[in-house]
Amino acid sequence: MVNAASIGLSTRDLYLFNNGNSFHSYRFLGAHPIRLGDEKGVRFSVWAPQAKSVRVSGSFNEWQSDKHVMEKVGETGVWSLFIPGIRVGAIYKYELETASGDRLLKSDPYAFQSERRPRTASVVTDLSSYHWNDRAWQLHQQEESPYHEPMLIYEVHLGSWRVKGKEIFLTYEEMADQLLDYVVEMGYTHIELLPITEHPLDQSWGYQTTGYYSATSRYGTPEQLMIFVDRCHQRGIGVLLDWVPGHFCKDDHGLRLFDGTPIYEGADWKRAEKPLWGTLAFDFGRTEVQSFLISNAIFWMDVFHIDGLRVDAVASMIDLHFDKAPELHTYNKFGGRENTDAIRFLKRLNETVFHYYPDALMIAEDSSAWPAVTSPTYMGGLGFNFKWNMGWMNDMLRYMALDPNERRHHHQLITFSLMYAFSENFILPLSHDEVVHGKRSLLGKMSGTYEQKFAQLRLFYGYWMTHPGKKLLFMGGEWGQFDEWKDAESLDWQLLEYESHGRMNDYVKALNTVYADRSALWERDCDPGGFEWIDVHNAAQSIIVFLRRGLEPDCFNVVLCNFSTQHYENYRVGVPEAGMYRLVLNSDEQAFGGHTTLMPEVLTAEAVPWQGRAYSLTLELPPLAFLMLAYEEKGPKK
């Protein structure tokens, strides 16, 4: 055994790691270039409590691991070794001898960089040298509340947004130019990246990870990712990561049976198996696993200045029976199906993140009806600050696929979401999951003729943008990508050369601009006072009318959605105040691919009671159209 201090390790750090209270364990585990005495080199440290022996094998010893045998650090389960003379860029793995005498060659769970697939070695990396220039962004974030600010997220898969050729990807740094310019031009507030943690299989999109601390080398170096995030912040764009703590893949060089025993996945194989994905669940009750995962969440915010995490597959974490056959069912100590270890872990994760980063975004991708996901933990909640509204998304996509003549029988699909819209802090997701595996693109889901599909998508986007909740759209949806998402190819950018797709892109850009400019659309997203129905019951005509209110009394917008194919020349709608109402956006404008040629820009309310309101106005309501009016003043000017 080796004394921790003799190799620059802290006994306190190791104690906290073993007890699940180390939230920066990446600072001492893994490969760290250090000076020990008069020598420069690299200290390697790895947790492998049941290993019989551990060695470091790499480019610096011609992969002859017997030259570099690691020593146990007390009873911590950690093995460590300082090797002088090694430089940044060296590649390595750990060779572990199991209790039964087998030899395993494993990548470093704490590696900061990995070889590009199909190679699987870890790379010695120094992450401390980058100079950040996003101080203004950090200060701005401290002054704003995400609940009362616009949030319009552009979800991106870096391997297919735009590529140079087959498996020839843009680098993180190139993305900092091309992708960022596009996002700013289109008016998004955040970029959300599908998982960029290192993964062996492109087709997993990063959701089956082997390197939780490694930004995938497909797109370049860790420093290039820092440049990407830094430039985003300098231009006012937040960066979110999809984060996958629910499960990991079974590849031999990864976490599975890491030291010959299930230290990351746990001994109960029924609980560990994730048959739907062919992966393994983490053992959330093991303290060292808690240190590993919570430290990883902190790592991305600390080292890469990431603004928040979208936590994947929360429902699969908290439900022991999630997508499992009866023979794989297990139960908690109370006889229930809730994974009490995972629930405690999620609460602790959020408490820790918000302790260090109070302005972070912690977003639950949760398809269950679990209550209080976005309530504080001291009130019994899971402690996230936002949750994806999967119910709204499923209902609306089902509704939009209906023939308009059938919609009057399913009116509840567009109104039911307001029964629970304020039970959580919601994000309305139109994500990658909805445009793959035979589900068709968003445009393809719309019913009707080719032209009607575009009209309906414009209408759908209008309702989405004005419904309470923050917004997320997967790449390509903004111009009506016609085919399903193809993860191995670039988006169909050539579609922008066609008038219908180009005008759809213009419409989305205009809609994004209206969203940013109209505070009533986001100031009270999480407040029931920010929404009022004007006409919720008009199933016969498939029309809904509602108000979105801002913090100021006179700040409100009137929204009309006509989900039918009927054209109304003089449609009367009730409004709450006398005065003038300006037409802010009409999805049926010719400029967007519609048919409206001339519509009054300003309408004046009449003292004609209608729909429970003291005033009303009449306007043209085109078929399959979204209209938004902004209230401008209380009565005529003197």
Q: Please, is 157 exposed, middle or buried when counting C-beta atoms within 10 Å of its C-beta (0-12, 13-18, 19+)?
A: buried
H-helix or E-strand spanning residue 506: helix 499-517
CA distance 25 to 192: 26
Q: Is the pTM of this model over 0.85?
A: yes
Active-site position among 198, 259, 312, 525:
312
pLDDT single digits (tens) 532-549: 999 999 999 999 999 999
The predicted structure's pLDDT at residue 636:
46
Candidates 605, 613, 607; CA nearest to 633 is 605
pLDDT single digits (tens) 102-117: 999 999 999 999 999 9
pLDDT at 273 over 60: yes
The predicted structure's pLDDT at residue 638:
33
Cα Rg, the chain, nearest whole Å: 27
By DSSP bridging, strand 238-243 and strand 211-215 are: unpaired
pLDDT single digits (tens) 443-497: 999 999 999 999 999 999 999 999 999 999 999 999 999 999 999 999 999 999 9
The predicted structure's pLDDT at residue 7:
87
pLDDT at 175 over 90: yes
Strand partners, 427: 388, 470
HSE-CB at 451 with a 13 A cutoff on CA atoms is: 7
Domains belonging to the chain, first-starting first, are: 4-123 (2.60.40.10), 529-634 (2.60.40.1180)
The predicted structure's pLDDT at residue 217:
97
Look at the alpha carbons of 381, 382, 388, 393 in this order and tell me if their dihedral is positive or negative.
Answer: negative
The predicted structure's pLDDT at residue 598:
82
pLDDT band at 634 (very low <50, low <70, confident <90, very high): low
Q: For 63-69, what is the mean pLDDT? A: 92
pLDDT single digits (tens) 338-378: 999 999 999 999 999 999 999 999 999 999 999 999 999 99
Q: Is 312 designated active site?
A: yes
Q: Is 365 designated active site?
A: yes
The predicted structure's pLDDT at residue 1:
84
Active-site position among 365, 366, 434, 492:
365
Q: Please, is 142 exposed, middle or buried when counting C-beta atoms within 10 Å of its C-beta (0-12, 13-18, 19+)?
A: exposed
